[in-house]
């Protein structure tokens, strides 16, 4: 049996606590489904700055480049806020994504029935179901265009360039259509084509790519309308495809609809099967070391790793079912624990989920 190598970046703050639980769940899933996994530790973030002065040491980058998948906790914290920008823990993450060629960010937003009360939306709205994925372009657009500040007529003027090529749009559109094929087969492509040239190219390119996916329906929506529709009726979405900046904003809005930042996973994918899997939250320095962190976002990221990089959908299903089963039994960490109930710690919740796999 071929051994799959997983680079493990524990990172800072709650990172080590939550990753320990996710690795234990992966080991259990590997046992049950006959997978052979090897875990290679890679240091990145503030801990790496403390040890060797570099937020992304070359050895860690090489470990990730050799791996079939990368599992990441979170990096950063106030201790390293004074570090020069190019060596900040967060810029290590941007460099890693770019070195791995990860152009597609997948963020599922699913309101688990057990946590329906955690959503800030009215019960009448969430009763129709919330289960969609934002597919965001990750390494193009305005975040990667030219940034310039100059003085014009005696005052500062700033310019940020939004730029997309047809090829960049085609590849992310294909990711969205492939994702839709594994789900309810409906893509909503989000743009601002009433104003932006980039969006007009986006729309035309998405329509061209759609021709190869006759089994998937596609519609176009302006980004301002989409922001409104996500809170008005999230049940209408299956796959939301959009460019980098719109996706940054919409995916945070989508995550709030599901109630807790601690339970949401994400995957960043490129051309091959290698991906980077991480919870959507940060290193939560305010609760680090207290065993209060919710490991579910990282464990569900591990489920995405099984599905997308290791092609082990049964194992992914089993991990997701184990999370649901433990929530059904009433166990929760403090972030999602209703008033009056006693929360369990990160380690206990992780152990219960691993046992349920
Ligand atoms: P954060 O997501 O770390 O925390 C926001 C709030 O949510 C905090 O109150 C925290 O306790 C809580 N929270 C987050 N994850 C939780 C979990 N799993 N269980 C329970 N509660 C949880 O955001 P922040 O405070 O703005 O950032 C802290 C640090 O993390 C910063 O240095 C930031 O740059 C970094 N960060 C890293 C990443 C990443 O590694 N991908 C992402 C975002 C922020």
- Per residue in 244-260, pLDDT (tens digit) is 999 999 998 998 898 77
Mean pLDDT in consecutive groups of 10 residues from the start of the chain, 357 residues: 95 98 98 97 97 97 98 96 91 91 94 86 93 95 92 97 98 96 96 98 98 98 98 97 96 86 93 94 96 97 96 97 95 88 95 98
For residue 78, give the 3-state DSSP assignment: helix
**What are 338's two structure tokens?**
């209703």
H or E element: which one contains 332? Answer: none
Marked catalytic residue, from 50, 160, 252, 328: 252
Q: What's the gap in Å between 127 CA and the centre of ligand 1?
A: 29
Q: Is 199 a pocket residue for ligand 1 (Cβ < 6 Å)?
A: no
Residue pair 105/266 in contact (Cβ under 8 Å)? The answer is yes
Active site residue 103: no
Dihedral-angle region of residue 101 (phi above 0 means left; psi in -120 to 50 means alpha; beta otherwise): left
Give the separation between CA 153 and CA 151, rounded to whole angstroms.
7
**Res 113: pLDDT:** 86
Identify the residue whose C-alpha is closest to ligand 1 atom 11. 284
Give the separation between CA 71 and CA 316, rounded to whole angstroms.
15
Active site residue 355: no
For residue 337, give the 3-state DSSP assignment: coil
Q: Is 45 a pocket residue for ligand 1 (Cβ < 6 Å)?
A: no
Closest-CA residue to 181 (of 217, 219, 211, 209): 217
- Per residue in 275-320, pLDDT (tens digit) is 999 999 999 999 999 999 999 999 999 999 999 999 999 999 999 9
Q: What atom of ligand 1 comes closest to residue 293's alpha carbon?
A: 19
Identify the residue whose C-alpha is closest to ligand 1 atom 1. 282
**What are 68's two structure tokens?**
């079939």
**Res 118: pLDDT:** 82
Q: Is 287 a pocket residue for ligand 1 (Cβ < 6 Å)?
A: yes
**Res 53: pLDDT:** 96
Closest-CA residue to 138 (of 166, 161, 105, 169): 105
Pocket test residue of 283, 289, 337 for ligand 1, highest count of atoms within 8 A of CB: 283
pTM of the entire predicted model: 0.91
Marked catalytic residue, from 224, 233, 311, 355: 224
**Res 310: pLDDT:** 96
**Res 252: pLDDT:** 87
Active site residue 248: yes
Residue pair 162/196 in contact (Cβ under 8 Å)? The answer is yes
Active site residue 224: yes
Residue pair 89/50 in contact (Cβ under 8 Å)? The answer is no
Provide the 8-state DSSP code for 234. Answer: G
H or E element: which one contains 14? Answer: none
Active site residue 207: no
**Res 124: pLDDT:** 93
Provide the 8-state DSSP code for 284. Answer: -
C-alpha distances out from residue 90 to 80, 96, 149, 174, 235, Å: 10, 10, 23, 28, 33
**Res 114: pLDDT:** 85
């Amino acid at each position: 049996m071929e051994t799959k190598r997983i680079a493990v970046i524990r990172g800072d703050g709650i990172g080590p606590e939550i990753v320990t639980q996710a690795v234990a769940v992966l080991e259990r899933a590997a046992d049950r489904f006959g997978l052979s996994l090897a875990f290679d530790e890679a240091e990145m973030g503030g801990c790496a700055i403390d040890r060797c002065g570099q937020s992304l040491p070359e050895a860690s980058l090489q470990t990730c480049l050799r791996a079939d998948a990368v599992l990441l906790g979170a990096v950063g914290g106030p201790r390293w806020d004074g570090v020069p920008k190019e060596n900040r823990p967060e810029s290590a993450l941007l460099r890693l994504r770019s070195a791995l060629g990860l152009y597609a960010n997948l963020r599922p937003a699913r309101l688990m029935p057990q946590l329906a009360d955690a959503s800030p939306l009215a019960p009448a709205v969430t009763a129709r179901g919330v289960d969609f994925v934002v597919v965001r372009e990750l390494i193009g657009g305005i975040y990667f265009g030219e940034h310039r500040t100059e003085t014009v007529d005696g005052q500062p003027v700033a310019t940020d360039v939004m730029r997309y090529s047809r090829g960049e749009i085609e590849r992310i559109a294909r990711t969205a259509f492939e994702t839709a094929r594994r789900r309810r087969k409906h893509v909503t492509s989000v743009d601002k084509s009433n104003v932006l040239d980039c969006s007009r190219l986006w729309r035309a390119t998405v329509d061209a790519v759609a021709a190869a996916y006759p089994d998937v329906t596609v519609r176009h929506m302006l980004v301002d309308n989409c922001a409104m529709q996500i809170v008005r009726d999230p049940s209408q979405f299956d796959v939301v495809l959009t460019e980098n900046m719109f996706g940054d904003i919409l995916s945070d809005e989508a995550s709030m609809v599901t109630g807790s930042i601690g339970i949401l996973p994400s995957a960043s994918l490129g051309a091959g099967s290698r991906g980077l899997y991480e919870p959507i939250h940060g290193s939560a320095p305010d609760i680090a070391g207290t065993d209060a962190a919710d490991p579910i976002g990282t464990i569900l990221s591990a489920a995405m790793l099984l599905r997308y990089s290791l092609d082990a959908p049964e194992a992914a299903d089993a991990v997701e079912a184990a999370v649901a089963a433990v929530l059904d039994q009433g166990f929760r960490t403090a972030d999602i624990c209703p008033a009056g109930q006693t929360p369990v710690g990160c380690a206990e919740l992780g152990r219960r989920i691993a046992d349920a796999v």
